């Protein structure tokens, strides 16, 4: 069984670009964590920050990371 790869870093540093290329090269599925969070929350990342703050977003991010890491 292959292990998942999680890319993390500052906003705009290229995680999505590199992740899509890596997924294609490895013939793996790509998942964008911000998109995943937005779908679960029903709000865009900016709205989550504006309404609930960074701490809440980071909690959602940690939860999403755990959930996505379990996927095959």
- Each residue's pLDDT tens digit, 9-67: 898 999 999 999 999 999 999 999 999 999 999 999 999 999 999 999 999 999 999 99
Provide the whole-model pTM: 0.83
- How much is the pLDDT for 3? 83
Is the pLDDT at 6 greater than 90? The verdict is: no
- How much is the pLDDT for 11? 86
Long-range Cβ contact pairs of 1-4 (< 8 A, separation 24 or more): 1/72, 2/28, 2/72, 4/68, 4/69, 4/71
């Amino acid at each position: 069984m292959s292990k998942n790869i999680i890319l993390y870093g500052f906003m705009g540093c290229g995680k999505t670009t590199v992740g899509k290329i890596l997924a294609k090269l490895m013939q793996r599925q790509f998942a964008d964590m911000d998109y995943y969070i937005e779908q679960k929350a029903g709000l865009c990342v900016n709205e989550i920050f504006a309404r609930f703050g960074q701490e809440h977003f980071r909690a959602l991010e940690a939860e999403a990371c755990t959930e996505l890491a379990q996927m095959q």
